Structure 1
């Protein structure tokens, strides 16, 4: 679970981070970048380090970062109720992932299903992936938090990822065993016993949990042939234009061996450079977070993500 503002900001943030390279470590301790390229580069350094708190602090001007933290605290003070079913499901899932001999038990449960699933779905997988690809593209095109440039870039990324999904040996037993080990190790590091913990942790603690989950996700993707850091390391910048507090940077990178490119717009504030789309989304999310909730929604149940 996370507040709506972070939900709306996460996708454009990750989209912007795909348009960056790994330099500028002196920039990571500051808000924004001294140049447009440095702003993008420092974001990737922080992402690779798993420093989500530092990433938000760098990606937003100080006042907007303060608003993000305040919005988080405001949400935490007035949580909507968690259903009994969600609480039970959460507890059972975490116990399965963190209990004694979790890796062996989960693999013993999964192993007999893998061969059956491969036989059942190997011929259907290309069709299922194509349907999923169409649904994801439709969701991207209808997104209100992505700019036209980000939508176009997301479409290009989906075109590269879809063949990877079709060709990846999802039912391979050795890879499944590795993936279970990563999932169990990650769940134990998260150390979450109840869904209420997600509601009561402060912003800094939550960002730490996000970092743990993200590190586990990168390991899982690596097992199945998608090295995230390799893609981030491949990014190269070419300045396109700069003037009157606005800049455009061309970004070239490689995803699964396929060259991709796009352009990123940045804006200068108080002498520092920030992603224009990211800043716009942060401010829209803050406005939404500070508006009164619609009548009749205060007591509605929350689904545990």
Structure 2
């Protein structure tokens, strides 16, 4: 299971960054603007947090202060790991973290890598995972229309890249396993209880380091996520009262992505509707 677990952890972290992607820009300004952010400003600011691998800041700004406070409580109680648990297959993240942080992770994962990639077709495996994940997103899970349009594009782009990337390079894999194992041990989040004990803010700070490490690993394979996001175009399509629609166009691993994001205004500030929906569902009474 070695190669699958290391791949699962990196893939989930990339999914975290991409699934939380509403827009893109450079570093966030040191001081807030004098006027309230526009819908475009909001999506750019959120993606700036993702480009900076700052999941804590993302969680803070993606929802209203009241919902954020409820999320912190629910996280401590083990009822949610938002925003991480809104991702496809996010339930596997603690298991992947445990495999990476195990004392013998480097040896066992390398052995798994050698077994699985011996005489294996990376292109065929990438194609299978792409088709399976796209079908899951389009047919299952609680995804909005916008998410069902956006996420399959991301998965297909990553699948196309993976089929051509040097993921079967043994020496490169050995370095990747060592890097990710060290990051996982530092995070210290090897099961669901560890996430709850650390709390939302601290867990996201630790996972931010994991995300930054995963980005560096993928860059070593020729996939620079932050560079790709730097070319994103953000266009306001419509704004009617407290509702707005924003179009995002960018290239991911060589594949064009074109999607529309819905936003809503609450207490004078704009929020991505899907992020609010997932967060409010996470803290709703059972």
User: Given the two structures, how large is their TM-score scaled by the length of structure 2?
Assistant: 0.77
Q: Does residue 1:137 correspond to 2:138, yes or no?
A: no
Structure 2: which 5+ residue stretches go unaligned? 1-12, 80-93
Corresponding residue of 2:159:
162
Post-superposition offset of 1:16: 5.4
CA–CA distance in structure 2, aligned partners of residues 167 and 25 of structure 1: 34
Normalized against structure 1, the TM-score is what?
0.72
- Identify which of structures 1 and 2 has the higher relative contact order when contacts are C-alpha pairs closer than 8 Å and 6+ apart: 1
1:233 has 2:230 as partner? yes
The answer to whether the Cα contact below 8 Å between 1:246 and 1:268 also exists between their aligned partners in 2 is yes
Q: Is 2:102 the partner of 1:94?
A: yes
Return the match for 1:181 from 178, 183, 200.
178
Cα distance between partner residues in 2 of 1:264 and 1:119 = 42
Answering whether residue 64 of structure 2 is matched by residue 70 of structure 1, we say no
Structure 1 residues 221 and 280, CA, compared in 2 at 3 Å: closer, same or farther?
same
- Is 1:217 the counterpart of 2:220 in the alignment? no
Using a 3 Å threshold, how does the CA distance of structure 1 residues 21 and 195 change in structure 2: closer, same or farther? closer
> Residue in 1 aligned with 2:169?
172
Query: How far apart are the structure 1 equivalents of 2:67 and 2:207?
Result: 20
CA change 1:51–1:127 in 2 (3 A) is: closer
Aligned counterpart in structure 1 of residue 57 of structure 2, from 46, 54, 57: 54
Summarize the Cα distance change of 1:254–1:205 in structure 2 as closer, same or farther, 3 Å threshold: same
Corresponding residue SS for 2:223: coil
1:75 aligned counterpart, secondary structure = coil
Q: Deviations over 1:216-248 (max 9, x none)?
A: 221222222221111221211111111211111
Match of 1:201, SS state, is: helix
Structure 1 regions of 5+ residues with no counterpart? 1-9, 77-85, 292-305
1:248 and 2:251 aligned: no
Instruction: Work out whether 1:42 is the aligned partner of 2:45.
Output: yes
The CA distance in 1 between the partners of 2:17 and 2:100, in whole Å, is: 31
Say if 1:21 and 1:233, in contact at 8 Å, map to a contact too: yes
Corresponding residue for residue 125 of structure 2 = 128
Counterparts of 1:24 and 1:91, CA distance in 2: 34
1:267 pairs, out of 257, 264, 269, with 264
Displacement over 4 Å in runs of 4+: 10-16, 27-30, 89-93, 116-119, 191-196
Distance in 2 between the 1:248 and 1:272 partners? 15
Provide closer, same or farther for how the CA distance between residues 93 and 21 of structure 1 changes in structure 2, counting only shifts above 3 A: closer
Separation in 1, partners of 2:100, 2:218: 25
Q: Which has the larger radius of gyration?
A: 1
